Amino acid sequence: MKSAYEAALERLERSGIEKPRLDALSEAVRQEMAEVRSRAAAEVAQLEIMHRQKLASLTDPLLQRQEEEEYQLERSRIEERKNDRIEALRGRPQSR
């Protein structure tokens, strides 16, 4: 029985899209990409802890909403930086 991944690759090949090459990136680049992802996850975890602490101390719903918006914005920035760094490692142009 084929995995969902293998089945998806076969569908891509049937539609004329080549399956991804496993050797496209060197091991060093893969490790660096993993490090970038790990650092971003750590930043998000730290941000979430600080966000929850701040929310717990706020009683005004308006301030809570403002804090939530700031949290979401900073989280998006972290994700965007991570994606930009990974794309740079792949040698593709960055999204900006």
pLDDT at 52 over 90: yes
Q: Is residue 86 part of a domain?
A: yes
Sign of CA dihedral 91, 5, 75, 47: negative
Question: Given this model, what pLDDT does residue 20 score?
Answer: 67
Give the count of domains, the chain.
Answer: 1
Q: What is the mean pLDDT of residues 8-34?
A: 80
Is 60 contained in some domain? yes
Q: What is the percent of the chain with per-residue pLDDT over 90, rounded to a whole number?
A: 58
pLDDT above 80: residue 14: yes
Given a contact cutoff of 8 angstroms between Cβ atoms, the answer to whether 71 and 6 are in contact is no
Predicted pLDDT at 93:
47
Q: Report DSSP letters for 43-87, one per residue.
A: HHHHHHHHHHHHHHH---HHHHHHHHHHHHHHHHHHHHHHHHHHH
Give a yes or no: residue 6 inside a domain. no
Say if CB 71 and CB 78 are below 8 A apart. Answer: no
Q: Is residue 3 part of a domain?
A: no
93 vs 11: which has the higher pLDDT:
11
Q: Which residues form the domain of 61?
A: 25-90
In a domain, 12, yes or no: no
With residue 6 as reference, give the H or E element that holds it.
Answer: helix 4-14
pTM: 0.69
Say if 43 falls within a structural domain. Answer: yes
User: Is the confidence at residue 23, as pLDDT, over 60?
Assistant: no
Asked if the model's pLDDT at residue 18 lies above 70, the reply is: yes
Q: Is residue 20 part of a domain?
A: no
In a domain, 18, yes or no: no
